[in-house]
Amino acid sequence: MSKVSGKEIAKYWSPTGIDGVECLYGNYYTFAFAPHFHTGFMVGVIERGANVFACRGKEQTASRGDVILLNPEEVHTGRARDEETGMAVRMLFINPEILNYVRHAVHGRSARAPAFAKTIAHDEAAASALVRLHRALESPESVLEQECLFLSVLAQLLMRHSDSSGSDQKTGNENAGIARVCDYIVEHASENVTLDDLAKVAYLSPFHLLRVFGKKTGLPPHAYQTQVRIHKAKRLLRHDSTIAQVALATGFFDQAHFSKQFKRYVGITPGQFLARL
């Protein structure tokens, strides 16, 4: 037997901003899941190593960067292929009603109930998006970011890997609604607004708003909100506010989060920005 080289860790939680979803982060070496199923969909990504699991009558292996897609009540197992390397997995367990909603938004009411055709998808873009989403769901920093990423990832997976059929929903001229949303984000920049809040302002469904907002502005709503907050933060820093005061006034979770986002968008830290004024 191979020598075990790491500590097994498992973390399970329900995101505060999204109902009907549960999350698992697992770092496993010798642990093996007994045959089991979930009442909802299971969507996951392998971050390290490989997961060997039995499902649909055969043993399968999902390696680093692969996406695992299981439908409700599909019995499966799971273990690391190599006990020394182990495996790190990020999983989402999703209420079927949520995927039904996204399926209707993407394909229209005529589409069949969603079901994933394959259990393993070799999809680098989806895997990367899933990791980003899963990490965002660990943090209380922005409900709007969680919701935007969540809907985008599910829509991407359904369009690429489900056997649902139907016509894609067309986007029209929603300029007035998008303009209202932009104004609303500016006026409520420091608040932890939700996608539902913005959808009501635009008189659109949350998913439709997410699609047309990106087409119109070039950014998803949460990134637009962050940009507005950064612009406000620069104005406050120029008027002698401290970094801690600015972080609080602009709606960031804490000073560390503010500093991280500021550097992402401005290219320097708030401290460096102050020093150059």
| Average pLDDT of the chain, as a whole number | 88
How confident is the model at residue 110, as a pLDDT?
A: 55
pTM: 0.80
Instruction: Please give the average per-residue pLDDT across 20-36, as a whole number.
Output: 93
Instruction: Please give the average per-residue pLDDT across 58-63, as a whole number.
Output: 96
Highest mean pLDDT among 89-93, 178-182, 222-226: 89-93
- Mean pLDDT check: name the lowest of 41-50, 138-147, 164-173, 245-254: 164-173
Length of the chain, please?
Answer: 277
Share of the chain above pLDDT 70, in %: 92
Tell me the residue type at 71. Answer: N
Asked if pLDDT for residue 168 goes beyond 60, the answer is no
Contact between 86 and 28 (Cβ < 8 Å): yes
How confident is the model at residue 95, as a pLDDT?
A: 93
Question: Tokens 């001229």 correspond to what residue?
Answer: 173
Instruction: Please give the average per-residue pLDDT across 201-222, as a whole number.
Output: 88
- What's the half-sphere exposure (Cβ side, CA atoms, 13 Å) at 215? 12
Give 79's strand partners: 32, 52
Report how far apart the first and last C-alpha atoms of the chain are (Å, whole number).
62
Asked if pLDDT for residue 173 goes beyond 70, the answer is no
Task: Using pLDDT thresholds of 50, 70 and 90, give the confidence band for residue 112.
Answer: low
CA–CA distance, 230 with 135 (Å, rounded to integer): 22
How confident is the model at residue 93, as a pLDDT?
A: 95
Backbone angles phi, psi at 202, to 5 degrees: -85, -15
Give the residue from 55, 57, 65, 210 showing the smallest Cα distance to 129: 65
How confident is the model at residue 4, as a pLDDT?
A: 47
Asked if pLDDT for residue 166 goes beyond 80, the answer is no
Tens-place pLDDT, residues 126-139: 999 999 999 999 88
Asked if pLDDT for residue 2 goes beyond 50, the answer is no
Q: Residue 275 has which token pair?
A: 């020093």
How confident is the model at residue 3, as a pLDDT?
A: 47
Instruction: Please give the average per-residue pLDDT across 68-92, as a whole number.
Output: 94
Instruction: Please give the average per-residue pLDDT across 52-58, as a whole number.
Output: 94
Task: Using pLDDT thresholds of 50, 70 and 90, give the confidence band for residue 77.
Answer: very high
